[in-house]
Structure 1
Amino acid sequence: MKLALNLALAVAALISTSFVAADQTSTHHAGHKRAAPGAHWTYGQDNAGPQHWGALDPLYGTCGTGKEQSPIDVAIGAPFVALQKKPFSALNYSPLRNVLCGYDSHTVKCEWNSTVTAPNKNSIVIKDKTYNLLQFHFHSPSEHRVNNHFADAELHLVHQAEDKSLAVVGVLLEVQANSNPFFEWVVKLDKKVDQLEHGHGFLVKDPVSGEPVPGEEQVKYKIDKVDFSPLLKATGKFTPRWEYEGSLTTPPCTEGVAWNVVRTSVGLGLKQFDALVDLESYNSRFIQDRPTKEGN
């Protein structure tokens, strides 16, 4: 079964395209506030695919020249990776209300309203710095590998500190027979999208300009309550985990991201996985080579 799924994903990689402009500071790894748009990019084998990101736009130069790029294989010859067996010095993951999930032309992403007067209190603390949870999204298959093996998918929980620095918790997802209640909304979102005649996403955008198209329907699925407790229980509160300093895995590939890839994978139901792939297809950046401390 897994071989067939992986083969399907490999085929999807050859035909995958995305038609949306990326932002300088607001990719799907960052917050939802938009900055000036950058060049159109994709996950496909075309001239806008990952191997060409660094040449598409001056804003994306780090994608081609960066020395601490992500994703990586976290377990093979990586002196810059540390297996952290202690929990985060502080972790607050309360249930979230009125979460909106959709496909944003690159990934299936969930966001929520968070303002100065009503901030989201969910956070992690790393080296005395507090990072607040901004959003979470998916990649299929996983972007990170363990001993050169990728998982069926990967969940990214994106956090941001007051100084705008980012910390991402990556959770590897493996297909299982039974559905996982935490991901059941993915199936419902897929069904909702299938019922519509026009595109899907938080914003339906013009493929050239990247600007929202007036009147085009926006498709979101509302989750009244997201309870993270099953996810925390399944992963031991994200412990143990591999820690390393890397980058965004999408343009502009900004470095200085505190990565935390959880060692324990989480089950994802087959129907849930099929719905996820139907929504976002193949959307993973290839593994990045990292120079060693000796500069090799």
Structure 2
Amino acid sequence: MQQRLHKRMEAPGGTGNSVKWAYEESNRWGYLTDDFALCQIGTQQSPIDLKLSGGISHTHCPRFNYSNPVTGHLHNWGYGPSMTFNHPKGKYTCLPSMSFQEKAGQANETVYLTGWHIHAPADHTVEGYRSRAELHFVHVDAKGKPRAVLAFRIDPGTCDSRSSFLDDLPELVHCKDMKTMKTVKNFMPKAVLAEVGWFHEFWTYKGSLTSPPCTEGIRWFVARNVLYVGDKQMQDILYHSKYAARETQEIWQHQINV
């Protein structure tokens, strides 16, 4: 079978070598270059399979400050719809924020929402089931380093299901072309929280980015409630997406719900 290569990445370190990688062969990323070594040897790699029998988290509860609307650009990140929020260069503390306590006894840590993107199918699985898509809200620390991700599994619901979050993004139909960018004003990121019960039930664990170089040190929050969308909304997501799910990783030092 011919390998499908959807993306070119410049290898870190200024080597000038373009390293090709594909989601369909995610089990080989660590062999492509030493810069991707964590993809092979990391102890907290994402995504993972989550268990209903394991219960939900009672620690690291996220607190959201998503009250203010933001302006951003809707575009295709190479694999599906995404949105990047506007902010002054190098300044992240003006963005919507979330706080959580990493360790008992420590002060709450605050991270800042820089945007979102969609994977299709979903990265995470639950009891082996993989939803049709997954929405990631990506948060960074005050210096812009990726630190935490909110994950929303997406599936089509009943005939009456519809996501108001997606209703607010009519430009989604223009997202197949990677070069097309649409400005979205007064976007309210908190709208999607209500559709999954405000993250009152979630799994959390220590993980990594789900694409090379598979950087670890990411706090994951995965909503237990599924984000149900209408059939047409689901079709729009799938039409504008390419396969973007990494193979689930073996549990090691992830400290799920701990």
TM-score class, shorter-chain normalisation, is 0.7 to 0.9
Structure 2 match to 1:20: 8
TM-score (norm 2): 0.81
Cα distance in 2 for partners of 1:165, 1:70 equals 14
* Aligned residue runs from structure 1 range 190-201, under 5 A: 190=173, 192=174, 200-201=177-178
Unaligned runs of 5+ in 1: 1-13, 26-35, 195-199, 202-217
Decide whether the 8 Å contact of 2:95 with 2:114 is kept in 1.
Answer: no
CA gap 1:37/1:160 in 2 versus in 1, 3 angstroms = farther
Structure 1 match to 2:74: 101
Structure 1 match to 2:118: 138
Structure 2 match to 1:61: 37
CA gap 1:165/1:179 in 2 versus in 1, 3 angstroms = closer
Structure 2 match to 1:188: 171
The offset of 1:261, in angstroms, is 0.5
CA gap 1:155/1:236 in 2 versus in 1, 3 angstroms = same
The offset of 1:19, in angstroms, is 3.1
Match of 2:252, SS state, is: coil
Identity %: 24
The offset of 1:102, in angstroms, is 1.0
Cα distance in 1 for partners of 2:200, 2:92 equals 29
User: Paired residue for 1:50, among 16, 19, 26?
Assistant: 26
CA gap 1:118/1:274 in 2 versus in 1, 3 angstroms = same
Q: Which moved more, 1:117-126 or 1:229-238?
A: 117-126
Structure 1 match to 2:138: 158
Residue identity matched to 1:250: S
Cα distance in 1 for partners of 2:43, 2:91 equals 39
CA gap 1:118/1:260 in 2 versus in 1, 3 angstroms = closer
CA gap 1:187/1:245 in 2 versus in 1, 3 angstroms = same
Decide whether the 8 Å contact of 2:118 with 2:133 is kept in 1.
Answer: yes
Cα distance in 1 for partners of 2:204, 2:118 equals 19
